Amino acid sequence: MYLDKIKEARNTIKDVVIKTPIMYSDIFSKETNNKVYMKCENLQLTGAYKLRGALNKLRSLTEEQKSKGVVCSSAGNHAQGVAYAATLEGVKSKIVMPKTTPLIKIQSTKNFGGEVVLHGNVYDDAYAEARRIEEEDGLYFLHPFNDIDVILGQGTLALEIIEEIDDIDVIVCPIGGGGLISGIALAAKELKPSIKVIGVQAEGANAMELSFKKGSLISLDTVSTIADGIAVKVPGDLTYEFIKNYVDDIVTVSDADIAESFILLTEKHKLLAEASGVASLAALKKLNLENKKIVSIISGGNIDMVTISALINSGLVSRGRLFCFSVELPDTPGQLLEISRILTSVRANVVQLEHNQFKAIDRLKNVLLEVTVETNGHSHIEMIKNELSKNGYVINHVY
């Protein structure tokens, strides 16, 4: 029913949209005992899959609609897709994004020709402002996910996957409002009904997962996750219907899961993706599947340097690559040297050290030492803790 329309959408956007690569992941395959492939939409022209739907929608508008200009709301990636597509088509665009949007997404949207308006703290605040602007300025509103032309555009991604790997068992896809997974599921289930389509949401922004499991549309009062691209309080009613009928399951992942997958992707594949972009990789351990051929969609790569740093640190801690502890020591000569000797004996590399008398409980006699060391995993951390304990030190595990 929808497959022909998705193929039409591909023809509509093929002169602009890149057919992004599908890469086999040895590391994620080993970690999950499956054959894992990554569909790298982080390498798309605007850094995310959103260009597909935005361009398909824009090219479906009448000349009269285009002449009025367009407005959209976005957490960042739809913004860039709309700005790029609108400029390409000679259409003025006004883009409303939350004030918390990473600077790289704001600046990229401006660079692509969009007029940026910052409003509210989450996507849903920006959405309300965009609808107000639509009424006030008479612009055409381009919904980021709850629109059939947008959904059909996103579905072109599934055509590329299945045409390249025809024996896929599972496609794993991040969910914010649900546009991407709706398009993926519509295409996949018609091309090959045996393919399982599984969605992923952040634990702190799981409105669609709750809706899917309850059987009715649920909205959240608040969202909290590092994956800003999928932090949606109110999912789409159109996308919910598609997900309810065509998606097999939805799982959730923690921010720590996301950070850990970010580290693996960056370190082992030399690829950068945003937090929402690696959610599909973070979900692999939640699927309880073995010996399956799985494609995880890396949905976007628009990430700023500050967030990269935060994700790296969080991921290193999660994988046992950084260990921070504190210990109270007698304020006498040689104590710091003894701690250094123990850490050297277990090959722990000190990356940060704070020696502070004013933080100790007994400030007159003791000093508090806080040490951060580079480690080789959780077993190495246990070895360090045991060695310190064996030498009479009582430590506090900070992180």
What domains sit in the chain, N to C, each tagged with a CATH number? 2-49+147-315 (3.40.50.1100), 50-141 (3.40.50.1100), 320-397 (3.30.70.260)
| DSSP reduced 3-state for 323 | strand
From CA 165, how far away is CA 330, in angstroms rounded? 64
Give, in order, the Cα–Cα distances in Å from 189 to each of 1, 184, 276, 292: 11, 8, 24, 18
pLDDT tens digits, residue range 109-165?
999 999 999 999 888 899 999 999 999 999 999 999 999 999 999 999 999 999 999
Instruction: Catalogue the active-site residues.
Output: 50, 299
Distance CA 32, CA 377 (A): 18
Kindly state the tokens that stand for 80: 């860039």
Give the pLDDT of the chain (399 residues) as one tens digit per residue: 899 999 999 999 999 999 999 999 999 999 999 999 999 999 999 999 999 999 999 999 999 999 999 999 998 899 999 999 999 999 999 999 999 888 888 999 999 999 999 999 888 899 999 999 999 999 999 999 999 999 999 999 999 999 999 999 999 999 999 999 999 999 999 999 999 999 999 999 999 999 999 999 999 999 999 998 999 999 999 999 999 999 999 999 999 999 999 999 999 999 999 999 999 999 999 999 999 999 999 999 999 888 898 889 888 998 899 999 999 998 888 888 999 999 999 999 999 999 876 666 665 568 899 999 999 999 999 999 999 999 999 999 999
How big is the chain, counted in residues?
399
The C-alpha angle 205, 210, 213, rounded to 5 degrees, equals 150
325: left (phi over 0), alpha (psi -120 to 50) or beta: beta
**CB-count exposure of residue 68 (10 Å: 0-12, 13-18, 19+):** middle
Q: How far apart are CA 57 and CA 150, in angstroms?
A: 6
Beta bridge partners of 251: 200
Residue 281 C-alpha from the chain's centroid: 9
d(C-alpha 389, C-alpha 57), whole Å: 63
Under 8 Å between Cβ of 11 and 17:
no
Cα 186 to chain centroid distance, Å, stands at 22
Interatomic CA distance for residues 314 and 160, integer angstroms: 33
Alpha-carbon gap, residue 237 to 211, rounded angstroms: 10
Give the H or E element holding residue 190: helix 179-191
Residues 6 or more apart whose CB falls under 8 angstroms from that of 193 comprise none
The per-residue DSSP string of 199-225 comes to: EEEETTS-HHHHHHHHTS----S----
What does the block give as tokens for 264? 């693996």
Whole-number Å distance between alpha carbons of 349 and 351: 6
Note whether 195 and 249 are within 8 A (CB): no
Determine the distance from the C-alpha atom of residue 85 to the mean position of all C-alpha atoms in its chain, rounded to a whole number.
Answer: 23
